Amino acid sequence: MKRIKTIETRDLKKSVKTGGCGECQTSCQSACKTSCGVANQQCEKCLSEK
């Protein structure tokens, strides 16, 4: 596309079927302890598939 560049991202709609294993890190457990953010958490399943 000439005017739109799409960055490769995980398809959240597809993850309804592939996600939900629950093995990922508890988000507050890493470095913040005073806020909530899940975006910086990695998917454990994706990591092991890599």
Contact residues toward another protein (CB under 8 A) are 1-13, 15-16, 18-20, 22-47, 50
In single-letter form, the type of residue at position 40 comes to N
Minimal distance in Å, beta carbon 21 to another protein? 8
Smallest CA-to-CA distance from 25 within 45, 8, 10 is with 45
Minimal distance in Å, beta carbon 17 to another protein? 10
Long-range residue pairs from 7-16, CB within 8 A, at least 24 positions apart, any chain: 10/43, 10/46
Minimal distance in Å, beta carbon 48 to another protein? 10
